[in-house]
Amino acid sequence: MGNTTSSPFQKCLESALGGNKDLVAVKDTPLFQLSHVRPYNLGIPVTPAAVTYPKTKDQIAAIVKCAVNNSLKVQPRCGGHSYANYGIGGWDNTIVVDMKSFQQFSMNKSTWQATIGGGTLLGDVTKRLHDNGKRAIAHGTCPQVGIGGHATIGGLGPSSRMWGSSLDHVEEVEVVLANSTVVRASEKQNPDVFFAMKGAGAGFGIVTEFKVRTQPEPGEAVLYSYTFNDGDSASKADAFKKWQKLISDPELSRKFASQYILTELFGAIITGTFFGSQLEFDSLNITSRLPSSSGVKSSELKDWLGIVGHWVEDVALEIVGGIQSNFYAKSLAYTDKDIITDDAVDRLFTYIDEADKGGALWFIIWDLEGGATNDVAPDATAYGHRNALFYHQAYAVNLMGKVNDQTRKFLTGVNDVITDALPNHDKGAYAGYVDPALGENSASLYWGGNVGRLQRIKAEVDPLDIFSNPQSVRPAKNSAKQRPMV
């Protein structure tokens, strides 16, 4: 690594930012960690070499050149919600490019294609699309997440069964590459870069602008929940069995989004959104397909912003939300061939009930996917989990200190019980739920059969691995396509 505190390094970044010293902070700046780094997961300390605040794409390109000249890595930050802190630096001595100034927005009302700045938070995406023609795209439920990371990893949310993932809406990107060039990428222009940015973006460049297809806002939706906070683990297991049978029905409407949430505080909850009328929802007879519940709620909303706002009140987001904390997360993808047997469900819920949690606050979410996200070929984008029917995400939060080894063992055990019961399971994981414990296997688990192509593209456009974090794609070795940086 270069001497990150040297005057030439600082001067290079200051020059890249037009001489404005207020747009760069190096790691010996007073209150650097508190004011500029602001880690999301406090359990993974990272000290970047510098945090920069560019205002133009040319400034980003110049920052990347400074990184190359000083043998440093670069990672963008948009929202700063990366679960393992990778969004704020990746490695120690990385240059962080904060994208908060990239807020441009426009709507082509002939094609209904929206142009969205790479630093826009999802809450602002929703509002700006609404204000410019009552349009929408699929995205997750946390408004503080940035589209720059969300739409380059996957971007799954309640409307994904109808519309696909966030990255499936992306039709073109403007991206800064490792050789400091700024290019447009689409299916017709720089298609390899476009492929990589749609699922593995953090390892290939920095998106300054997205062009996305949009959908008309749903006119109405039903928000529902069934609470199972009474009874023992066997009753909660029974509820899960019936939920799993419901969501694995191949005829289930794509308008139906659903989660099974298990928490220590609130018991078990089946909750979600149906994108249609109350009458249409009632005709699905969902209640009759689930066990009796101590609390059944459903409400019809005809205000899209109200619907999206309700998602923020999700029990899991209330626990973590945008709060900095010490936490650990693991995920697992399930296909329609990975339905957990009743016996295995019983073993799983018994394990969860009896295991030592290490004193942490924990919750597990099984989240229905499938639908439109499965319509895209697995090799059409870097996002490879096109056969995923649902995921689970298991979290443990310690509000008093670091997550301990016993808690990590508990979450690992949840995955182990399931994969032991599914011997043919490919153990795929969602890259949006970063898991440092995956180690060297992370690439194949995140990107499946697309890893080889991604490594070859990486060798062509970023052979020095400038855009790098602990689990990003590495360049293919001895690739004939490698070329020097300029």
Taking only the tens place, the pLDDT of each residue in 38-85 is 776 767 777 889 999 999 999 999 999 999 999 999 999 987 655 434
Say whether pLDDT at 464 is over 80.
yes
- Do 242 and 389 sit in the same domain of this protein? yes
Q: What is the pLDDT of residue 484?
A: 39
| Residue 174 placed within a domain | yes
Say whether pLDDT at 3 is over 50.
no
- Do 319 and 425 sit in the same domain of this protein? yes
- Do 185 and 314 sit in the same domain of this protein? no
Q: What is the pLDDT of residue 471?
A: 86
Domain boundary among 43, 78, 98: 98
Domain boundary among 98, 118, 141: 98
Nearest by Cα to 201 from 97, 275, 322, 50: 97
What average pLDDT score do residues 453-480 get? Answer: 90
Say whether pLDDT at 224 is over 90.
yes
What average pLDDT score do residues 207-215 get? Answer: 98
Residue 369: give its domain's CATH number. 3.40.462.20
252 CB burial (10 A radius; 0-12, 13-18, 19+) = middle
* Portion of the chain with pLDDT greater than 70, in percent: 91
* Angle, CA of 260, 426 and 199, to the nearest 5°: 80
What average pLDDT score do residues 404-411 get? Answer: 94
Say whether pLDDT at 88 is over 70.
no
Say whether pLDDT at 481 is over 60.
no
Say whether pLDDT at 7 is over 70.
no
Determine phi and psi for 258, rounding to 5 degrees. Answer: -155, 150
Q: Pick the residue with more confidence: 181 or 44? A: 181
Average pLDDT, the chain: 89
- Do 70 and 137 sit in the same domain of this protein? no
Domain boundary among 161, 185, 216: 216
| Residue 449 placed within a domain | no
Say whether pLDDT at 482 is over 50.
no
| Residue 448 placed within a domain | no
**Are 263 and 271 a contacting pair, CB within 8 Å?**
no
For residue 164, is it left (φ>0), alpha (ψ between -120 and 50) or beta? left
| Residue 455 placed within a domain | no
Residue 160: give its domain's CATH number. 3.30.465.10
Say whether pLDDT at 321 is over 70.
no
Q: What is the pLDDT of residue 314?
A: 60
Say whether pLDDT at 466 is over 50.
yes
Q: What is the pLDDT of residue 287?
A: 84
Q: What is the pLDDT of residue 86?
A: 38
SS (H, E, C) 298-323: EEEECCHHHHHHHHCCCHHHHHCCCC
| Residue 204 placed within a domain | yes
Greatest mean pLDDT range, 81-90, 311-320, 386-395:
386-395
Q: What is the pLDDT of residue 440?
A: 74
What average pLDDT score do residues 323-350 get? Answer: 90
User: Residue 177 is encoded by which pair of tokens?
Assistant: 């590459």
Task: Identify the residue whose tokens are 């019980």.
Answer: 417
For residue 465, is it left (φ>0), alpha (ψ between -120 and 50) or beta? left
pLDDT band at 91 (very low <50, low <70, confident <90, very high): low
Q: How far is CA 173 from the centre of its chain?
A: 18
* Portion of the chain with pLDDT greater than 90, in percent: 67
- Do 248 and 381 sit in the same domain of this protein? yes
- Do 56 and 140 sit in the same domain of this protein? no
Distance CA 88, CA 37 (A): 6
Say whether pLDDT at 171 is over 90.
yes
Task: Identify the residue whose tokens are 């510098």.
Answer: 50
Burial 11-46 (b: 16+ CB within 10 A, else e): ebbbebbeeeeebbbbbeeeebeeebbebbbebbeb
| Residue 484 placed within a domain | no
Structural domain containing residue 304: 221-442
- Helices within 248-298 (DSSP H only): 278-283
What average pLDDT score do residues 150-160 get? Answer: 95
Burial 331-348 (b: 16+ CB within 10 A, else e): bbbbbeebbbeeeebbbb
Domains identified in the chain, total number: 3
Say whether pLDDT at 1 is over 90.
no
Q: Pick the residue with more confidence: 3 or 319? A: 319
Say whether pLDDT at 153 is over 50.
yes
- Do 209 and 225 sit in the same domain of this protein? no
**Are 119 and 78 a contacting pair, CB within 8 Å?**
yes
| Residue 478 placed within a domain | no
Q: What is the pLDDT of residue 81?
A: 59
Task: Identify the residue whose tokens are 């410019």.
Answer: 132
What average pLDDT score do residues 205-224 get? Answer: 96
Nearest by Cα to 75 from 486, 468, 474, 363: 468
461: enclosing H helix or E strand? helix 451-461
pLDDT in tens, 261-276: 998 878 899 999 999 9
pLDDT band at 13 (very low <50, low <70, confident <90, very high): very high
Distance CA 207, CA 151 (A): 10
| Residue 359 placed within a domain | yes
Say whether pLDDT at 419 is over 70.
yes
Q: What is the pLDDT of residue 323?
A: 64
- Do 202 and 344 sit in the same domain of this protein? no
What average pLDDT score do residues 409-436 get? Answer: 87
* Angle, CA of 110, 115 and 121, to the nearest 5°: 135
Widest Cα–Cα separation across the chain: 70
Distance CA 177, CA 196 (A): 12
* C-alpha radius of gyration, the chain, whole number: 22
- Do 228 and 186 sit in the same domain of this protein? no
- Do 228 and 208 sit in the same domain of this protein? no
Residue 67: give its domain's CATH number. 3.30.43.10
N-term to C-term CA, the chain = 19
- Do 92 and 12 sit in the same domain of this protein? yes
Distance CA 371, CA 349 (A): 28
- Do 94 and 152 sit in the same domain of this protein? no
